[in-house]
Amino acid sequence: MRVEHARMHAKHRGHEAMHAEMVLILIATLVVAQLLLVQWKQRHPRSYNMVTLFQMWVVPLYFTVKLHWWRFLVIWILFSAVTAFVTFRATRKPLVQTTPRLVYKWFLLIYKISYATGIIGYMAVMFTLFGLNLLFKIKPEDAMDFGISLLFYGLYYGVLERDFAEMCADYMASTIGFYSESGMPTKHLSDSVCAVCGQQIFVDVSEEGIIENTYRLSCNHVFHEFCIRGWCIVGKKQTCPYCKEKVDLKRMFSNPWERPHVMYGQLLDWLRYLVAWQPVIIGLVQGINYILGLE
Protein backbone atom coordinates (compact mmCIF):
# COMPACT_ATOMS: atom_id res chain seq x y z
CA MET A 1 0.00 0.00 0.00
CA ARG A 2 2.81 2.38 0.91
CA VAL A 3 4.68 1.46 -2.26
CA GLU A 4 1.68 2.31 -4.45
CA HIS A 5 1.20 5.58 -2.56
CA ALA A 6 4.86 6.48 -3.15
CA ARG A 7 4.56 5.63 -6.85
CA MET A 8 1.54 7.88 -7.18
CA HIS A 9 3.38 10.79 -5.55
CA ALA A 10 6.37 10.22 -7.81
CA LYS A 11 4.14 10.16 -10.89
CA HIS A 12 2.42 13.47 -10.03
CA ARG A 13 5.51 15.19 -8.63
CA GLY A 14 5.92 18.69 -10.08
CA HIS A 15 2.29 18.87 -11.28
CA GLU A 16 1.35 21.50 -8.67
CA ALA A 17 2.36 24.32 -11.01
CA MET A 18 0.44 22.69 -13.85
CA HIS A 19 -2.69 22.39 -11.71
CA ALA A 20 -2.40 26.03 -10.66
CA GLU A 21 -2.10 27.02 -14.31
CA MET A 22 -5.21 25.02 -15.18
CA VAL A 23 -7.16 26.75 -12.40
CA LEU A 24 -6.06 30.17 -13.68
CA ILE A 25 -7.13 29.22 -17.22
CA LEU A 26 -10.53 28.14 -15.90
CA ILE A 27 -11.07 31.38 -13.96
CA ALA A 28 -9.87 33.56 -16.85
CA THR A 29 -12.08 31.73 -19.36
CA LEU A 30 -15.14 32.04 -17.11
CA VAL A 31 -14.59 35.80 -16.64
CA VAL A 32 -13.91 36.51 -20.32
CA ALA A 33 -16.83 34.34 -21.45
CA GLN A 34 -19.19 36.08 -19.03
CA LEU A 35 -18.11 39.52 -20.27
CA LEU A 36 -18.51 38.48 -23.91
CA LEU A 37 -21.96 36.98 -23.25
CA VAL A 38 -23.12 40.15 -21.47
CA GLN A 39 -21.90 42.36 -24.31
CA TRP A 40 -23.48 40.07 -26.90
CA LYS A 41 -26.80 40.11 -25.06
CA GLN A 42 -26.79 43.91 -24.77
CA ARG A 43 -25.71 44.65 -28.36
CA HIS A 44 -27.48 41.86 -30.26
CA PRO A 45 -30.23 40.45 -27.99
CA ARG A 46 -32.16 38.76 -30.79
CA SER A 47 -29.25 36.61 -32.02
CA TYR A 48 -28.16 35.92 -28.43
CA ASN A 49 -31.63 34.67 -27.50
CA MET A 50 -31.88 32.48 -30.60
CA VAL A 51 -28.46 30.86 -30.05
CA THR A 52 -29.18 30.39 -26.34
CA LEU A 53 -32.52 28.76 -27.16
CA PHE A 54 -30.78 26.39 -29.60
CA GLN A 55 -28.20 25.54 -26.95
CA MET A 56 -30.92 24.91 -24.37
CA TRP A 57 -32.70 22.61 -26.79
CA VAL A 58 -29.72 20.60 -28.08
CA VAL A 59 -27.13 20.32 -25.27
CA PRO A 60 -29.28 18.19 -22.88
CA LEU A 61 -30.31 16.03 -25.86
CA TYR A 62 -26.66 15.12 -26.48
CA PHE A 63 -26.15 13.95 -22.89
CA THR A 64 -29.53 12.17 -22.93
CA VAL A 65 -28.59 10.02 -25.93
CA LYS A 66 -25.05 9.46 -24.62
CA LEU A 67 -26.23 8.34 -21.17
CA HIS A 68 -29.34 6.46 -22.46
CA TRP A 69 -31.91 8.50 -20.56
CA TRP A 70 -34.79 7.24 -22.70
CA ARG A 71 -37.59 8.54 -20.46
CA PHE A 72 -36.27 12.07 -20.80
CA LEU A 73 -35.88 11.57 -24.55
CA VAL A 74 -39.55 10.55 -24.94
CA ILE A 75 -40.75 13.59 -22.97
CA TRP A 76 -38.37 15.81 -24.95
CA ILE A 77 -39.77 14.53 -28.27
CA LEU A 78 -43.40 15.07 -27.16
CA PHE A 79 -42.64 18.58 -25.88
CA SER A 80 -40.72 19.46 -29.04
CA ALA A 81 -43.49 18.19 -31.33
CA VAL A 82 -46.29 20.20 -29.66
CA THR A 83 -44.08 23.27 -29.21
CA ALA A 84 -43.04 23.13 -32.87
CA PHE A 85 -46.72 23.14 -33.91
CA VAL A 86 -47.53 26.05 -31.55
CA THR A 87 -44.47 28.00 -32.75
CA PHE A 88 -45.47 27.36 -36.37
CA ARG A 89 -48.93 28.79 -35.70
CA ALA A 90 -47.45 31.81 -33.91
CA THR A 91 -45.15 32.73 -36.83
CA ARG A 92 -47.77 32.53 -39.61
CA LYS A 93 -48.97 35.63 -41.45
CA PRO A 94 -51.76 36.61 -41.33
CA LEU A 95 -52.18 35.54 -37.73
CA VAL A 96 -55.32 33.59 -36.89
CA GLN A 97 -57.28 35.35 -34.14
CA THR A 98 -57.32 32.29 -31.86
CA THR A 99 -53.55 31.71 -32.10
CA PRO A 100 -52.36 34.09 -29.31
CA ARG A 101 -54.59 32.42 -26.74
CA LEU A 102 -53.55 28.97 -27.97
CA VAL A 103 -49.88 29.91 -27.59
CA TYR A 104 -50.27 31.42 -24.11
CA LYS A 105 -52.45 28.53 -22.90
CA TRP A 106 -49.90 25.92 -24.00
CA PHE A 107 -46.89 27.68 -22.51
CA LEU A 108 -48.81 28.61 -19.36
CA LEU A 109 -49.68 24.91 -18.93
CA ILE A 110 -46.03 23.89 -19.30
CA TYR A 111 -45.01 26.72 -16.96
CA LYS A 112 -47.37 25.50 -14.21
CA ILE A 113 -46.37 21.85 -14.67
CA SER A 114 -42.65 22.66 -14.57
CA TYR A 115 -43.17 24.92 -11.55
CA ALA A 116 -45.04 22.20 -9.62
CA THR A 117 -42.54 19.52 -10.70
CA GLY A 118 -39.60 21.60 -9.53
CA ILE A 119 -41.24 22.27 -6.15
CA ILE A 120 -42.01 18.57 -5.61
CA GLY A 121 -38.46 17.65 -6.58
CA TYR A 122 -37.01 20.21 -4.18
CA MET A 123 -39.22 18.94 -1.34
CA ALA A 124 -38.19 15.35 -2.08
CA VAL A 125 -34.51 16.33 -1.86
CA MET A 126 -35.08 18.18 1.43
CA PHE A 127 -37.06 15.27 2.90
CA THR A 128 -34.21 12.92 1.99
CA LEU A 129 -31.59 15.18 3.56
CA PHE A 130 -33.60 15.25 6.80
CA GLY A 131 -34.11 11.48 6.71
CA LEU A 132 -37.90 11.62 6.34
CA ASN A 133 -37.73 9.10 3.49
CA LEU A 134 -37.12 6.40 6.13
CA LEU A 135 -40.67 6.89 7.40
CA PHE A 136 -41.89 5.51 4.05
CA LYS A 137 -39.17 2.82 3.94
CA ILE A 138 -37.59 4.39 0.83
CA LYS A 139 -33.86 4.02 0.29
CA PRO A 140 -31.96 7.34 0.48
CA GLU A 141 -30.40 6.87 -2.97
CA ASP A 142 -33.80 6.16 -4.54
CA ALA A 143 -35.43 9.16 -2.85
CA MET A 144 -32.57 11.46 -3.83
CA ASP A 145 -32.62 10.25 -7.46
CA PHE A 146 -36.37 10.86 -7.58
CA GLY A 147 -36.04 14.38 -6.18
CA ILE A 148 -33.11 15.42 -8.37
CA SER A 149 -34.82 14.03 -11.48
CA LEU A 150 -38.02 16.00 -10.82
CA LEU A 151 -36.01 19.12 -10.02
CA PHE A 152 -34.10 18.79 -13.30
CA TYR A 153 -37.28 18.24 -15.33
CA GLY A 154 -38.96 21.25 -13.76
CA LEU A 155 -36.05 23.62 -14.23
CA TYR A 156 -35.11 22.49 -17.73
CA TYR A 157 -38.58 22.61 -19.26
CA GLY A 158 -39.35 25.78 -17.33
CA VAL A 159 -36.38 27.54 -18.95
CA LEU A 160 -37.07 26.08 -22.41
CA GLU A 161 -40.75 27.02 -22.26
CA ARG A 162 -40.03 30.63 -21.33
CA ASP A 163 -37.58 31.09 -24.20
CA PHE A 164 -39.99 29.67 -26.79
CA ALA A 165 -42.83 31.73 -25.29
CA GLU A 166 -40.83 34.96 -25.51
CA MET A 167 -39.99 34.30 -29.16
CA CYS A 168 -43.62 33.52 -30.03
CA ALA A 169 -44.85 36.60 -28.12
CA ASP A 170 -42.54 38.86 -30.14
CA TYR A 171 -43.62 37.35 -33.45
CA MET A 172 -47.34 37.53 -32.67
CA ALA A 173 -47.25 41.05 -31.28
CA SER A 174 -45.27 42.30 -34.29
CA THR A 175 -47.66 40.57 -36.68
CA ILE A 176 -50.74 42.06 -34.99
CA GLY A 177 -49.06 45.46 -35.39
CA PHE A 178 -49.58 47.07 -31.97
CA TYR A 179 -46.04 46.24 -30.82
CA SER A 180 -42.59 46.89 -32.22
CA GLU A 181 -39.26 46.05 -30.57
CA SER A 182 -37.76 49.28 -31.90
CA GLY A 183 -39.67 52.30 -33.10
CA MET A 184 -43.38 53.03 -33.21
CA PRO A 185 -46.11 50.40 -33.71
CA THR A 186 -47.55 50.09 -37.19
CA LYS A 187 -51.15 50.46 -35.94
CA HIS A 188 -52.98 52.86 -33.64
CA LEU A 189 -54.44 51.12 -30.61
CA SER A 190 -58.13 51.67 -30.02
CA ASP A 191 -59.50 51.64 -26.47
CA SER A 192 -61.72 48.70 -27.40
CA VAL A 193 -58.95 46.42 -28.72
CA CYS A 194 -56.49 44.24 -26.78
CA ALA A 195 -52.98 44.83 -28.15
CA VAL A 196 -51.83 41.31 -27.22
CA CYS A 197 -54.44 39.25 -29.09
CA GLY A 198 -55.85 41.94 -31.41
CA GLN A 199 -59.47 41.17 -30.50
CA GLN A 200 -62.23 43.34 -29.08
CA ILE A 201 -62.09 43.85 -25.32
CA PHE A 202 -65.81 44.52 -24.85
CA VAL A 203 -68.35 42.70 -27.01
CA ASP A 204 -72.14 42.67 -27.11
CA VAL A 205 -74.10 39.52 -26.42
CA SER A 206 -74.94 39.18 -30.12
CA GLU A 207 -71.31 39.66 -31.25
CA GLU A 208 -68.59 37.06 -31.57
CA GLY A 209 -65.63 37.61 -29.25
CA ILE A 210 -63.96 36.81 -25.93
CA ILE A 211 -65.80 37.71 -22.73
CA GLU A 212 -63.47 37.86 -19.74
CA ASN A 213 -62.01 40.16 -17.10
CA THR A 214 -59.88 43.09 -18.18
CA TYR A 215 -56.83 44.75 -16.65
CA ARG A 216 -55.74 48.39 -16.94
CA LEU A 217 -52.04 49.20 -16.69
CA SER A 218 -50.66 52.38 -15.11
CA CYS A 219 -50.35 53.82 -18.65
CA ASN A 220 -54.19 53.45 -18.94
CA HIS A 221 -54.05 50.86 -21.72
CA VAL A 222 -56.59 48.06 -21.19
CA PHE A 223 -56.08 44.37 -22.03
CA HIS A 224 -57.72 41.01 -21.45
CA GLU A 225 -56.49 39.85 -18.05
CA PHE A 226 -55.40 36.47 -19.44
CA CYS A 227 -53.53 38.15 -22.31
CA ILE A 228 -51.56 40.65 -20.23
CA ARG A 229 -50.67 37.98 -17.66
CA GLY A 230 -49.45 35.72 -20.46
CA TRP A 231 -47.49 38.64 -21.94
CA CYS A 232 -45.75 39.45 -18.63
CA ILE A 233 -45.26 36.02 -17.03
CA VAL A 234 -45.16 33.56 -19.94
CA GLY A 235 -43.71 35.94 -22.52
CA LYS A 236 -41.18 37.45 -20.06
CA LYS A 237 -42.23 41.03 -20.87
CA GLN A 238 -42.26 43.78 -18.25
CA THR A 239 -43.47 46.64 -20.45
CA CYS A 240 -46.80 47.64 -21.96
CA PRO A 241 -47.30 45.84 -25.31
CA TYR A 242 -48.15 49.17 -26.96
CA CYS A 243 -46.34 52.12 -25.35
CA LYS A 244 -43.52 50.13 -23.65
CA GLU A 245 -44.09 51.77 -20.24
CA LYS A 246 -42.73 49.54 -17.46
CA VAL A 247 -45.31 47.27 -15.83
CA ASP A 248 -45.49 47.14 -12.03
CA LEU A 249 -45.59 43.37 -11.50
CA LYS A 250 -46.15 43.72 -7.74
CA ARG A 251 -49.30 45.73 -8.42
CA MET A 252 -50.49 43.28 -11.07
CA PHE A 253 -50.03 40.24 -8.83
CA SER A 254 -51.49 41.48 -5.57
CA ASN A 255 -52.30 37.92 -4.47
CA PRO A 256 -49.29 36.70 -2.43
CA TRP A 257 -49.76 33.17 -3.78
CA GLU A 258 -49.07 34.43 -7.32
CA ARG A 259 -45.83 36.27 -6.55
CA PRO A 260 -43.69 33.11 -6.28
CA HIS A 261 -44.36 32.58 -10.01
CA VAL A 262 -42.53 35.85 -10.71
CA MET A 263 -39.62 34.84 -8.47
CA TYR A 264 -39.55 31.40 -10.10
CA GLY A 265 -39.27 33.05 -13.51
CA GLN A 266 -36.27 35.07 -12.34
CA LEU A 267 -34.64 31.87 -11.06
CA LEU A 268 -35.12 30.24 -14.46
CA ASP A 269 -33.44 33.21 -16.15
CA TRP A 270 -30.39 32.72 -13.94
CA LEU A 271 -30.25 28.97 -14.58
CA ARG A 272 -30.27 29.50 -18.35
CA TYR A 273 -26.59 30.39 -18.24
CA LEU A 274 -25.72 27.19 -16.37
CA VAL A 275 -27.64 24.91 -18.74
CA ALA A 276 -26.91 26.56 -22.09
CA TRP A 277 -23.43 28.06 -21.78
CA GLN A 278 -21.63 26.31 -18.93
CA PRO A 279 -21.02 23.07 -20.90
CA VAL A 280 -19.68 25.12 -23.83
CA ILE A 281 -17.30 27.06 -21.56
CA ILE A 282 -16.06 23.87 -19.86
CA GLY A 283 -15.46 22.32 -23.28
CA LEU A 284 -13.51 25.42 -24.31
CA VAL A 285 -11.36 25.18 -21.17
CA GLN A 286 -10.60 21.52 -21.87
CA GLY A 287 -9.65 22.43 -25.43
CA ILE A 288 -7.23 25.12 -24.22
CA ASN A 289 -5.66 22.71 -21.74
CA TYR A 290 -5.25 20.09 -24.48
CA ILE A 291 -3.58 22.58 -26.83
CA LEU A 292 -1.18 23.69 -24.08
CA GLY A 293 -0.41 20.09 -23.14
CA LEU A 294 -1.90 20.35 -19.65
CA GLU A 295 -3.36 17.23 -18.04
Q: Which of 30-39, 60-69, 116-125, 200-209 has the lowest mean pLDDT?
A: 200-209
pLDDT attached to residue 211: 57
Q: What is the DSSP letter of 135?
A: G
pLDDT attached to residue 198: 75
pLDDT attached to residue 86: 92
Higher pLDDT, 150 or 271: 150
Higher pLDDT, 168 or 85: 85
Cα separation, 120 vs 126, whole angstroms = 10
Show contacts of 56-63: CB within 8 Å, 24+ apart.
56/156, 56/159, 56/160, 56/163, 56/272, 56/275, 56/276, 57/160, 59/275, 59/276, 59/279, 59/280, 60/156, 60/275
Dump pLDDT digits (tens) for 75-103.
999 999 999 999 999 888 887 878 888 88
- Is the Cβ–Cβ distance between 164 and 87 less than 8 Å? yes
The pLDDT of residue 117 is above 90? yes
pLDDT attached to residue 113: 92
Dump pLDDT digits (tens) for 195-229.
777 777 765 544 455 556 778 887 888 888 778 87
Dump pLDDT digits (tens) for 2-39.
556 556 555 555 566 677 777 788 888 888 888 888 88
Dump pLDDT digits (tens) for 133-161.
888 888 888 889 999 999 889 888 888 88
Task: Kindly state the average pLDDT of the residues 101-108.
Answer: 85
- Is the Cβ–Cβ distance between 113 and 158 less than 8 Å? no
Binned at pLDDT 50, 70 and 90, residue 260 comes out as: very low
Amino acid identity of residue 150, one-letter, is L
What the chain holds in terms of domains, given with CATH numbers, is 47-176 (no CATH), 182-260 (3.30.40.10)
Higher pLDDT, 263 or 114: 114
- What does the angle CA 25 – CA 30 – CA 36 come to, to the nearest 5 degrees? 120
Q: What's the residue count for the chain? A: 295
The pLDDT of residue 246 is above 60? yes
Q: How far is CA 216 from CA 193, 212, 265, in A?
A: 12, 13, 23
pLDDT attached to residue 82: 94
Higher pLDDT, 216 or 233: 216
Dump pLDDT digits (tens) for 179-190.
666 555 666 667
For the chain, give the percent of residues with pLDDT over 90: 9
